[in-house]
Amino acid sequence: MSQKVSICLLGPKGAGKSSLLGSLADCVGQGAYGYSPNFHPVLQPISQVDFLKGPIDRHRADFLTHTLSPYERLKQELVAGAAATNTLDTYEYYFRLSLSGAAPTELTQAGPWLLEIIDSAGDIAMPPEGAQIALLDDVKTKLAKQILASDAIVLALPLTRFDEAEWSGALSRLADRLMLAKEKNLKRIVVALTFYERLFVNLGPDAFTYACDPSVARHILRKSLRSSNCFDHIRKLTTSHSALQLRLTVCSTFGFTKRFQNPNLDPWLAGEQRFRRNGLEVGRAHSEYWRPFLTADPFLYAALGLDSAFTFSFEQLEGETATRRVDPAIY
């Protein structure tokens, strides 16, 4: 029987939450994650009906009819370079996750999993400090219920100076409220630092070589921990809830270009020329040049509790032991 897992995706506006989610299926399909090269997860978008009741018989007239699902629309917006989601509501997306290959036996026997991933606007959960935002009470109540009922939370935070961020106070308060909430269902939290590729824009074809080294990611995460007090509030969650698992990772929605290995943007042009070169059709360039990186790791860990080479606990980041290495064949 399929297991159902609810994952809440939270973060400030502009952190890349919707983009992170939009590249999730492609990241899994391209194997651009930090798990073993013999690990073969399959992630299939499904409908809300399939999530709630399981597969159902379709009317024969619908057999050849294709309607664009909410997740397919999200992916199209990502490829088209759409701006941050400008909404004061939450959206739910559904997936079927199955495992094969090098996955632990206890996991392959336990699956498949039906995932509900809740994408919330940043102005709801983590508004900028002092901002006056008109929010409907029913929307706030809806998100609060979804957070407390979720099995896991993925916190998408942009790589920045965290103590100077307008939303750092809101993040600390959210962590404190979660710590005090007695009715929460929470089992796992993943802190995902987004826009990882921007750290390597000046390295040219060597960018991917450094980005896919777990020791580099570990160094970035360690520096981020030391630069802000807001992570202390997240750390307290694990002390107040002994069964709660917490990991930190990095990810890159826009990723790197295939074969050329450089970040998927040109720092010398105005704006980011994502997924394509001038003169090429969007569809062709989307499949030929775009390679998201590690965007699957926070969601797969949130669903399975299975570490990749790029997921670290607080203890691992603060220790002096050497980080784990992965087979370059993954990439």
Per-residue pLDDT tens digits for 111-166: 789 999 999 877 787 877 766 666 667 788 888 899 899 999 999 999 888 878 88
Q: Which of 33-37, 39-43, 208-212, 271-275 has the lowest mean pLDDT?
A: 271-275
What average pLDDT does the chain have?
Answer: 83
The predicted structure's pLDDT at residue 167: 86
CA 174 – CA 258 distance, rounded (Å) = 38
CA 281 – CA 285 distance, rounded (Å) = 6
Check pLDDT > 50 for residue 207: yes
Q: Which two tokens stand for residue 294?
A: 């590690």
As beta bridge partners, residue 188 has: 152, 245
The predicted structure's pLDDT at residue 44: 92
Q: What's the burial of 33, exposed, middle or buried (CB within 10 Å: 0-12/13-18/19+)? A: buried
Check pLDDT > 90 for residue 9: yes
Which top CATH class is 3-330? alpha beta
Nearest to 302 by CA among 224, 236, 246, 242: 246
The reported pTM is 0.88
As beta bridge partners, residue 10 has: 155
For residue 26, the tally of other CB atoms under 10 A from its CB is 22
The predicted structure's pLDDT at residue 50: 85
Name residues whose C-beta falls within 8 Å of residue 173's C-beta, 6 or more positions apart in sequence: none
